Amino acid sequence: MKLTVIGCGYLGATHAAAMAELGHQVLGMDIDPDKVAALNAGRAPFFERGLDELLAKHTASGQLRFTTSYAEAAAFADLHFIGVGTPQKPGEMAYDLTHLFSAARQLAPRLTGPAVIVGKCTVPVGTAPQVIDILREFAPAGDQVEVCWNPEFLRESYAVEDTLHPDRIVLGFTGENTRAESVIRQAYGRIIESGTPVIVTDLATSELVKSAANAFLATKISFINAMAEVCETSGADVQLLAEALGHDARIGRRGMRPGLGFGGGCLPKDIRGFMARAGELGADQALTFLREVDTINNRRRERMVDLAREQCNGVINGKNITVWGAAFKPDTDDIRDSPALAVAQKLHQLGATVTVFDPKALDNARKAHPQLEYADHPIEAADNADLLLHLTEWLEFTRLDPKAIAARVAAPRVIDGRGTLDPARWRAAGWAYRALGRP
Ligand code: UDX
């Protein structure tokens, strides 16, 4: 099939490459010429495992191309996926839907024949009908333009895998569609044939699935981090607690890793956007618990700063502190709302000299936080440190030799914010080891 993907960020670029991998002819469209140039050269403008390989393969084969032109996109196909960003409005809890409405507004006048528009971005419930209104108002093809809402559940760092092998496909329709369902089922044919469940819903439910899923995931993380707070005051160990709880299949271990909490471009903004929307709908009481989820999450960052102060004998000012990790989670270079950088920045404000190392996110961190120091190697970053903080759980940190690092620091004190360093190994190498939620 021929199709386009409008908006080529984490979601759109991955979707475009994955659709080409499924055998389709794909034109990706983005208004950012630099992004389009990189993608046409077979490179993602961000790090995502396996994506560069797919981009290189399919831009070379001619199956995948990128453009900045809406006219070209509209002429290329009659199936258009929309994957533009829906960030949080600055200073507000609600979503900024400018990019989405602008994409619909730009595409609409160029839709002269039957077309299917598939919304993939995360939106507050009730947005899809607004997109339909724009399309109906400005598209010459009028009601021959049909809309499907198809939320995307991909995790960064597993984006390619999650796109090609999703847990489920959710498709929301108006109820009056004639072609949309068969067109989208055909586009996802290979995924559906492999046994992936398809759940067909009304538009509102399809939008809500994504908000509800992210609210649940965030709640699960904050739940175990609230337990970490109780562990800290009672001498219990949250890592063992999580393991023991996880064996109950109703609870489950996945997505329940205690630590410095969640960040990134999705969970924080999605729970806030969800609360804002519930408020507008008069259902705000239903989601007041998400405020607590957000608060617990932010309290982990504060607790890390307090522990750091404690380890520095009450004075952070003037100390050399090494931070391992800048990305919001491992295997990505994404630093949006990164818990690690939030802690690094706070310690800098309190007068520490903070030296950051991250395997992939250093360039992005340098641009966003030029006031921090950076090192190109994790051990070099620890030179002369009064305190080492492990804040993003890259696998390579667990493989480093604590003895070799102890020889370089001013004081062998480490705080494990993610619970993945082996306390016995670090203590045996002479380190004073502390961790969130552990005795
Ligand atoms: C998330 C959802 O998982 C995904 O389904 C949705 O489409 C977008 O938002 P992502 O932002 O890529 O995906 O990250 P995820 O792997 O869910 O992690 C989010 C944050 O929570 C990270 O900061 C991570 O370190 C933290 N986290 C995750 C925990 O602290 N504990 C966990 O058990 C899981």
Which 8-state DSSP code applies to residue 89? P
Give domain status of residue 172, yes or no.
Answer: yes
Which protein residue's CA is at the shortest distance from atom 21 of ligand 1?
A: 262
Q: Which of 384, 387, 320, 392 is nearest to 352 (CA)?
A: 320
268 and 417, same structural domain? yes
Whole-model pTM: value is 0.97
Check whether residue 313 and residue 342 sit in a common domain: yes
Question: Of 177, 196, 215, which residue is a domain's last?
Answer: 196
What pLDDT was estimated at residue 178? Answer: 79
Atom 26 (ligand 1) nearest CA = 262
Residue 149, pLDDT score? 98
- Kindly state whether residues 82 and 225 are assigned to the same domain: no
Same domain, 187 and 299: no
* Ligand 1 atom 7, closest CA: 153
CA dihedral sign, ordered 409, 415, 416, 421: positive
Among 46, 167, 168, 217, residue to substitute to test ligand 1 (most atoms within 8 Å of Cβ)? 217
Q: Whose CA is closest to atom 22 on ligand 1? A: 262
The best mutation among 162, 221, 271 to test binding of ligand 1, ranked by most ligand atoms within 8 Å of the C-beta, falls on 221
- Give the pLDDT confidence score for residue 70 in this predicted structure: 98
- Which among 333, 439, 308, 287 is positioned nearest to 386, based on CA atoms? 308
Q: Is the same domain home to 184 and 228?
A: no
pLDDT at 99: 97
Instruction: Look up residue 370 and give its amino acid.
Output: P
Interstrand relation of 169-173 and 25-29 (parallel, antiparallel or unpaired): unpaired
Angle between helices 203-234 and 267-281 (to 10 degrees): 120
Q: Say yes or no: 150 and 263 in one domain.
A: no
Q: Look at residue 201 and tell me if it is in a domain.
A: no
Domain that holds residue 53: 2-196
> Residue-wise pLDDT tens for the chain (439 aa)?
999 999 999 999 999 999 999 999 999 999 999 999 999 999 999 999 999 999 999 999 999 999 999 999 999 999 999 999 999 999 999 999 999 999 999 999 999 999 999 999 999 999 999 999 999 999 999 999 999 999 999 999 999 999 999 999 999 999 887 799 999 999 999 999 999 999 999 999 999 999 999 999 999 999 999 999 999 999 999 999 999 999 999 999 999 999 999 999 999 999 999 999 999 999 999 999 999 999 999 999 999 999 999 999 999 999 999 999 999 999 999 999 999 999 999 999 999 999 999 999 999 999 999 999 999 999 999 999 999 999 999 999 999 999 999 999 999 999 999 999 999 999 999 999 999 999 9
Distance 116 CA to ligand 1 centre (A): 31
Atom 3 of ligand 1: nearest residue by CA position: 155
Residue 267 belongs to some domain of the structure: yes
Q: Are residues 184 and 314 in the same domain?
A: no
> What atom of ligand 1 comes closest to residue 158's alpha carbon?
12
CA of 390 to the centre of ligand 1 (A): 18
Cβ atoms of 120 and 97 within 8 Å: the answer is no
Q: Which atom of ligand 1 is nearest to the CA of 159?
A: 12
Instruction: Assess whether 269 and 386 both reside in one domain.
Output: yes
Distance CA 92, CA 95 (A): 8
Q: Are residues 263 and 380 in the same domain?
A: yes
Same domain, residue pair 74 and 44: yes
pLDDT (0 to 100) of residue 176? 82
Q: Is residue 272 part of a domain?
A: yes
Of 266, 333, 335, best ligand 1 pocket probe by most atoms within 8 Å of the beta carbon? 266
Final residue in a domain of this structure, among 151, 173, 196: 196
Helix (H, G, I), strand (E, B) or coil at 384: coil
Output the CA 155–ligand 1 centroid distance in Å.
7
Q: What is the pLDDT of residue 253?
A: 97
pLDDT digits (tens, 9 = 90+) for 260-282: 999 999 999 999 999 999 999 99
Q: Classify burial at 83, counting beta carbons within 10 Å of its beta carbon; exposed 0-12, middle 13-18, buried 19 or more.
A: buried
- Residue 90 CA to ligand 1 center (angstroms) comes to 22
216, 137: one domain = no
Domain-terminating residue out of 140, 175, 196: 196
Residues assigned a catalytic role: 266
Return the ligand 1 atom nearest residue 338 CA: 23
Q: What is the CATH number of the domain that holds 102?
A: 3.40.50.720
Q: Which atom of ligand 1 is nearest to the CA of 392?
A: 25
Do 104 and 123 reside in the same domain of the chain?
yes
Backbone angles phi, psi at 12, to 5 degrees: -65, -45
- CA dist list (Å): 132 to 30, 215, 353: 21, 26, 52
Is residue 202 a part of any domain in this protein? no
CA distance 38 to 418: 34
Cβ atoms of 438 and 241 closer than 8 Å? no
Q: With b meaning 16 or more CB within 10 Å and e meaning fewer, what string describes 88-127? A: beeeebbbebebbeebbebbbebbeeebbbbbbbbbbbeb
* Ligand 1 center from residue 213 Cα (angstroms): 11
Nearest atom in ligand 1 to the alpha carbon of residue 152 is 7
- Give nearest CA residue, ligand 1 atom 15: 155
Residues 39-48: contacts with CB under 8 Å, at least 24 apart = 39/8, 39/13, 39/66, 40/65, 40/66, 44/13, 45/13, 46/10, 46/332, 46/333, 46/334, 47/332, 47/333, 47/360, 48/10, 48/14, 48/156, 48/157, 48/159, 48/160, 48/332
| Residue 136 CB partners (closer than 8 Å, separation 6+) | 142, 143, 145
Position 235, amino acid: G
Pocket of ligand 1 (CB under 6 A): 153-156, 214, 217, 221, 255-257, 259, 261-264, 266-267, 328-329
Number of domains in the chain: 2
Q: Give the model's pLDDT for residue 226.
A: 98
